[in-house]
Structure 1
Amino acid sequence: MEIIEGNCFKDNFPLWIKLVNKKITVTTDNGNDYQGIVKTIDPLTGSIVLLQFNDEELSKPSDLMIITGHAVKRLTLQTDQQPQSSTINLDIIKENEIDQDELKGRKIKLIEWFEKNRIPVEENDNQELVVAKSITIKSPYTKDDCNSSNVMVVRRIQDLMSRMPTTTT
């Protein structure tokens, strides 16, 4: 086990690269311990994205945890149980899966909402919604699934989506 404490972790990019896809235990400043595999570390804040597992075989993550960089007190690198592969299946939390009927209904409601607000929308070959010829919305069609290079337009569409009633008339 390798233990990293204090300011050794802050702004230490080579260490961050070394930690990606490694099993670690993070101790926070309030004394809580969190164990998982490092998916990534935010270079601006030092926040750690940990994949947590219910079983020891590391087959599929059961949860995703973000630990803010300022709260990290100590890191313990678990050298005994590292994942065999750097590619981990990211199908996180199977309970949140949406059935196809609900997904189709959500897409139809969203199309109706955009049309009601006189915003052009169409569906492309990949089952994505294309809004105003500049924004794509991928399944499961939530405001977090909007993608475009124009951030201002994305924010306006996301705002409109958040104002969509649960039942459209």
Structure 2
Amino acid sequence: MGHAVREVEILKEGDEEMAKRLSSLFMPEGRQVLSTDELKRKRECLRAWLEKNLIPVTEEGETLRVAGVLTVNPPYGSQDCCSSNEIILSRVQSLVESNPGPDENL
């Protein structure tokens, strides 16, 4: 359907109130906003944990790519894993959930 769109016209820029309303719609309850440093620390921690478990991981910007078939996006929780292979998705999500944290796995 997107191929049929020829032009998009912005009628009004969003304000702070609209940003909050959209955030509440699309972000799960209790989801916290992390700083750039915190996200980097979580990414490095998760990468180290996966590598410790002999899972091949590469970084593509802020995204972790696991075995070339799964991605983990910020903030790097099990719900942030995405793959069309449900078996790999389930196993990596289990590993992400069992990640002991930065003090334990580095």
1:105 alignment partner AA: R
- Quick check: 1:97 aligned with 2:42? no
Name 1:157's counterpart in structure 2: 92
2-side partners of 1:143 and 1:134: how far apart?
15
- Give deviations 1:41-87, integer Å, cap 9, x for gaps: xxxxxxxxxxxxxxxx95222745xxxxxxxxxxxxxxxxxxxxxxx
What do you get for the CA RMSD once the two structures are aligned?
Answer: 2.6
Please list every run of 5 or more consecutive structure 1 residues that lacks an aligned counterpart in the other structure: 1-56, 65-89
The separation in 2 between residues aligned to 1:139 and 1:121, in whole angstroms, is 15
Cα drift, residue 92 of structure 1: 7.6
Higher strand share: 1
User: Residue 133 of structure 1: CA displacement?
Assistant: 1.0
- Give the counterpart letter for 1:155 in structure 2: S
Query: Match for residue 80 of structure 2?
Result: 145
Structure 2 residue identity aligned to 1:135: L
Aligned pair count reads 87
Write out per-residue CA displacement over residues 12-59 of structure 1, whole angstroms, 9 at most, x where no aligned residue. Answer: xxxxxxxxxxxxxxxxxxxxxxxxxxxxxxxxxxxxxxxxxxxxx952
Secondary structure of the residue aligned to 2:46 is: helix
TM superposition score normalised by structure 1: 0.45
* SS across alignment from 1:141: coil
Correspondence for 1:115: 51
Q: Please say if 1:131 is aligned against 2:66.
A: yes
Which has the larger Rg? 1
Query: Structure 2 length as normaliser, TM-score?
Result: 0.70
In structure 2, the gaps of 5 or more residues are 1-15
For CA contacts below 8 A with separation 6 or more, give which structure has more relative contact order. Answer: 2
From the two aligned structures, give the one with the greater helix fraction: 2
Identity over aligned residues, as a percent? Answer: 37
- Match for 2:42: what amino acid? R
